[in-house]
Amino acid sequence: MSDQSSQSENFEQLLRSTTGELIEKIEQGELIDAVNLLQQINDARNKNLYIEVGRLTRALHDAIRDFHLDTSAAVGNQEEFSDISDAADRLNYVIKMTQDAANTTMDKVDECIPVAEKLGQEASDLRSEWARLKRREMSPEEFRDLYKRMDLFLESTEQQAEQLSSNFSEITLAQGYQDLTGQVVKKVIVLVHEVEDSLVELVRMASQVDKITGIRHENTEQQTEVVDATPAPEGPAINAEKRGIDVVSGQDEVDDLLSSLGF
């Protein structure tokens, strides 16, 4: 780095020191010397330019290597997968894991609902029978019937409670996706940071070439087109509280906004 900045500093120094001399020579009418000086500046500039372009090429090569881009198509090696396509695979895996977990959880809940309903229904039926017994409104035959039903109810309650708790532990187990997907997402975050660092480095290298060749880039940040007024969907807002006023942070704010519009 220091080597590189000293290169362009050297060129700037040379430019500064020689310019004074150049004006002097021109004023004194020593045109041959002046042309020689110009030639010197030009040589130095070219030399620096070659060095910087060489550096940029090198950096581009390194960046591509650091991006772990899939150059196999260009190089003819089809066997290796790039980290980027690997990251896409990993994220697809996250989608699959979360979907499977959601489905398992909902399957188990669906199984539990009728069990709980049946338990409640039976208990409420038995309770009204029991109340009749307490009020001594029950015939001996009815009591024998209740006696048997009570036995069956206790037995099935035991079984159903077992089924419920087994479903509950399966629901808990299904949450294991959080650990696995968390690890995968962390790896992808690391890759994204690496790619960002490489890109920043590349931009820095390119700016050296711009400086020496005197290229000025027009501001390419174009104004947002207003042609299509439909706001593009962007998915869940991350850090909604920190984003301030453009994003609502919950249903209450949606309701406030809509009621201010006459809803």
Partner 1 sequence: MNKDMKILIVDDFATMRRIVKNLLRDLGFNNTHEADDGLTAIPMLNTGNFDFVVTDWNMPGMTGFDLLKHIRADPELKDLPVLMVTAESKREQIVAAAQAGVNGYIVKPFTAAVLKEKIEKIFERIEK
List of residues contacting partner 1 (CB under 8 A):
98-99, 102-103, 106, 109-110, 229-231, 233-237, 240, 245-251, 254, 257-258, 261, 263
CB 159, min distance to partner 1, A: 25
Q: How far apart are CA 49 and CA 152, in angstroms?
A: 93
CB nearer partner 1, residue 41 or residue 248: 248
CB 165, min distance to partner 1, A: 22
Instruction: Match 């695979």 to its residue by tokens.
Output: 89
Give the CA angle between residues 40, 46, 51 to the nearest 5°.
Answer: 130
CB 237, min distance to partner 1, A: 5
- 3-state secondary structure at position 1: coil
CB nearer partner 1, residue 29 or residue 231: 231
Alpha helix ranges (H) inside 69-139? 72-75, 83-134
CB 246, min distance to partner 1, A: 6
| Closest listed residue to residue 36, CA positions, set 51, 47, 25 | 25
Query: Rounded to 5 degrees, what are φ and ψ at 227?
Result: -60, -50
CB nearer partner 1, residue 192 or residue 258: 258
CB nearer partner 1, residue 214 or residue 231: 231
CB nearer partner 1, residue 106 or residue 152: 106
Q: How far apart are CA 228 and CA 219, in angstroms?
A: 23
CB 230, min distance to partner 1, A: 7
